[in-house]
């Protein structure tokens, strides 16, 4: 390296040191909390999955939450208790239903800062906090009625406490207590936390063997048994037909998300690297996934070469166990359902960045650019998500449509609710003047039997003014419906909102003979017509 290049690298190192990694970490901590708060405050109406789960909470007592949930929903009972308590205390559904996810989302960023400060050097603290703060799906699910931010929080809490115990020469019983209670609370509030608990118990047991600490061996086994007994108790208390929901998810919703048995075919071997790369792209954006994967592998290499085997177990076993239970079809290796692995990857990335920054002398700029590249990629995805309606930030806002119905509908008007919009109509109609009092026809899905739609059309003939309310529209079914009814109705008004379409049709007189359209209609099966989400 030339003298000029060396001076440039030295200047870059000193520049970053003068600014301070700590200051950058705090800036990203604040930014992460701000982005989650912004999304929570600005969030629109609940989406389909949120609505279906919330409908269960409105119609049940706390005791009834131990019974099977409707609409193919399943969630940890402790988290359901938090959700219902929030809904009972705060009447604004959009905010109360999302409040537990928001609290865990903000707490996750703050906990990452604390955990990184205790386990990593300054560069690693900066990068882990920045990555956690800007993770698009960690942001998105901080204002979504699902327990994923709780999964992230408890996974990180278990990792943090386990790393803290590993660093301690001989942890006392008193110091083990937070570890025990974090696991017990986590089992109640999060399904996948048991994977982290198994990994943490293994890491602590390995430490006990290495240090020949018999007291720690006994303590680790006792704590693990306590976690296991609670987990089995909750599992056995789960309603019998919850297994039906899981079976439906395995066979239909998540059919392609279970890992194949390795070495049985070439495709089974290809599945693992390709899916791991896809998951890194999901968690850290398509542009930053490669950067994140490289830093994570460097972090594991650093832990191995420095003989920190307990930490290595802690940051690899969750992934291994996740793949194993996916092979056994016990839990899918699916995008949002593996968000609990995010803290493990982020901490591994922090170790890798620390190692590269510390070991690089004349090539300081290369690891710096690697870390900054990951931050820029995540930041681009996160900030773009707030400006463009694409996943994970796409939402459907039914409030403007409800407001139009409330202000412009006449007492004798009829409301036809597209089957995908039924959950939203059920939740929100009672919160707008006059909307709940209008006569309503619930639509059916034509996905499996076209006669379901024809029966709906038959019901609307000669009904006069009909408001047609569409949301969660599948396969352009709104256009198909309009093409069907345009022969017997006239479009009076049309309103389009984000993900929502509202039309006022006049069915006063048939414009043409529609007998040919309806004469061959056969009575369809009502269950097929309704679809699982309505």
Which of 396-400, 477-481, 516-520 has the highest average model confidence (pLDDT)? 396-400
Average pLDDT of the segment spanning 337-346: 95
- In the predicted model, what is the mean pLDDT of residues 378-384? 84
CB atoms within 10 A of CB 526: 10
Same-domain status, 133 and 278: yes
Assess if residue 510 is contained within a domain.
yes
Classify residue 209 as exposed, middle or buried by CB count within 10 Å of its CB (0-12, 13-18, 19+).
Answer: middle
Residue 84 inside a domain? The answer is no
Task: Say if residue 372 is in the same domain as residue 413.
Answer: no
Is 305 among the domain residues? yes
Residue 12 reports pLDDT greater than 90: no
pLDDT at 95: 93
State whether the Cα torsion 267-272-278-281 is positive or negative: negative
Q: What is the overall mean pLDDT for the chain?
A: 85
- Which of the four pLDDT bands, split at 50, 70 and 90, describes residue 177? very high
Q: How sure is the predictor about 323, in pLDDT bands with cuts at 50, 70 and 90?
A: very high
- Find the DSSP H helices in 212-341: 214-237, 242-248, 266-284, 289-305, 309-314, 317-327
Mean pLDDT, to the nearest integer, of 485-508?
A: 87
How far apart, in Å, do the first and last CA atoms of the chain sit?
A: 68
Contact 299, 350 (CB under 8 A): yes
pLDDT at position 241 is 47
Domain count, the chain: 2
Same domain for 380 and 516?
Answer: no
Query: What integer pLDDT is reported at residue 390 of this predicted model?
Result: 46
Residues 305 and 166 in one domain: yes
Structural contact between residues 445 and 529, judged by C-beta atoms closer than 8 angstroms? yes
Are residues 375 and 416 located together in one domain of the fold? Answer: no
Question: What are 504's strand-pairing partners?
Answer: 467, 493
pLDDT at 245: 52
Please tell me the distance from the alpha carbon of residue 150 to that of residue 100, in angstroms, as a whole number. 8
Q: Are 350 and 156 in contact (CB under 8 A)?
A: no
295 & 407 share domain: no
Residues 383 and 409 occupy one common structural domain: no
pLDDT over 90 for what percent of the chain? Answer: 48
Residue 81 belongs to a domain: no
Backbone dihedral region for residue 501 (phi beyond 0: left; psi -120 to 50: alpha; all else: beta): beta
* Shared domain check, 459 and 407: yes
Compute the average pLDDT of residues 205-231. Answer: 92
Nearest CA to 456 out of 435, 437, 480 is that of 480
Across the range 255-266, mean pLDDT stands at: 82
Q: Given 387, 410, 443, which residue is the final one in a domain?
A: 387
In a domain, 119, yes or no: yes
Of 387, 421, 456, the position where a domain reaches its end is 387
In a domain, 52, yes or no: no
Cα separation, 97 vs 423, in Å, equals 15
Asked which of 387, 414, 440 is the last residue of a domain, the reply is 387
Same domain as 439, residue 331: no
Backbone angles phi, psi at 446, to 5 degrees: -90, 5
Percent of the chain residues topping a pLDDT of 70: 87
| Residue 478 domain boundaries | 399-530
Residue 88 lies in a domain: no
Q: Tell me, yes or no, whether 282 and 379 share the same domain.
A: yes
Residues 264 and 358 in one domain: yes
Place of tokens 């048994």: 225
pLDDT in tens, 438-474: 899 888 887 777 778 778 887 887 788 999 999 888 8
Instruction: Say yes or no: 379 and 438 in one domain.
Output: no
Query: Is residue 393, in this structure, part of any structural domain at all?
Result: no
pLDDT: which is higher, 44 or 275: 275
Please tell me the predicted confidence (pLDDT) of residue 127.
Answer: 95
| More confident call, 5 vs 24 | 24
Confidence (pLDDT) at 265:
84
* Average pLDDT of the residues in 119-130: 94
């Amino acid at each position: 390296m030339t003298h000029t290049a060396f001076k440039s690298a030295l200047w870059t190192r000193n520049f970053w040191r003068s600014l301070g990694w700590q200051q950058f970490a705090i800036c990203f901590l604040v930014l992460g909390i701000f982005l989650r708060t912004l999304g929570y405050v600005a969030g629109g109406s609940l989406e389909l999955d949120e609505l279906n789960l919330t409908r269960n909470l409105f119609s049940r007592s706390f005791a009834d939450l131990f019974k099977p949930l409707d609409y193919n929903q399943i969630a940890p009972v402790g988290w359901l208790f938090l959700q219902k308590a929030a809904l009972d205390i705060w009447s604004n559904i959009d905010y109360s239903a999302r409040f537990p996810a928001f609290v865990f989302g903000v707490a996750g960023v703050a906990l990452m800062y604390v955990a990184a400060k205790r386990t990593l050097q300054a560069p690693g603290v900066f990068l882990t906090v920045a990555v956690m703060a800007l993770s698009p799906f960690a942001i998105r699910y901080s204002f979504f009625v699902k327990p994923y931010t709780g999964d992230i929080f408890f996974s990180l809490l278990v990792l943090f406490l386990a790393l803290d115990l590993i660093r301690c020469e001989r942890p006392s019983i008193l110091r083990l207590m937070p570890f025990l209670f974090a696991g017990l609370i986590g089992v109640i509030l999060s399904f996948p936390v048991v994977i982290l608990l198994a990994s943490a118990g293994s890491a602590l047991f390995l430490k006990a063997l290495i240090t020949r600490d018999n007291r720690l061996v006994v303590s680790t086994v006792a704590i693990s048994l306590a976690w296991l007994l609670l987990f089995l108790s909750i599992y056995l208390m789960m309603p019998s037909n919850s297994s039906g929901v899981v079976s439906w998810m395995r066979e239909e919703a998540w059919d392609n998300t279970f890992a194949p048995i390795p070495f049985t075919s070439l495709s089974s071997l290809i599945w693992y690297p390709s899916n791991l790369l896809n998951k890194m792209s999901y968690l850290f954006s398509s542009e930053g996934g490669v950067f994140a994967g490289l830093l994570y592998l460097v972090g594991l290499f650093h832990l191995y070469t420095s003989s920190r085997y307990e930490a290595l177990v802690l940051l690899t076993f969750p992934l291994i166990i996740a793949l194993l239970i996916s092979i056994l079809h016990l839990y899918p290796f699916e995008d949002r359902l593996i968000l609990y692995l995010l803290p493990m990857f982020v901490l591994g990335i922090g170790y890798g960045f620390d190692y590269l920054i510390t070991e690089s002398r004349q090539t300081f700029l290369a690891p710096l650019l690697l870390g900054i590249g990951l931050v820029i990629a995540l930041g681009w995805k996160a900030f773009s998500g707030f400006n463009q309606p694409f996943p994970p930030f796409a939402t459907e806002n039914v409030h403007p449509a409800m407001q139009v119905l409330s202000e412009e509908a006449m007492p004798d008007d009829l409301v036809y609710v597209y089957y995908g919009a039924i959950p939203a109509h059920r939740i929100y109609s009672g919160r707008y003047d006059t909307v709940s009092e209008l006569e309503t026809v619930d639509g059916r899905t034509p996905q499996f039997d076209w006669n379901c739609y024809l029966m709906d059309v038959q019901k609307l003939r000669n009904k006069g003014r009909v408001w047609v309310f569409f949301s969660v529209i599948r396969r352009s079914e709104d256009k198909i419906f309009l093409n069907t009814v345009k022969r017997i109705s006239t479009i009076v008004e049309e309103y389009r909102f984000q993900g929502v379409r509202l039309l006022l049709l006049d069915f006063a007189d048939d414009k043409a003979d529609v007998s040919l359209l309806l004469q061959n209609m056969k009575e369809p099966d009502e269950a097929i017509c309704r679809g699982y989400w309505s």
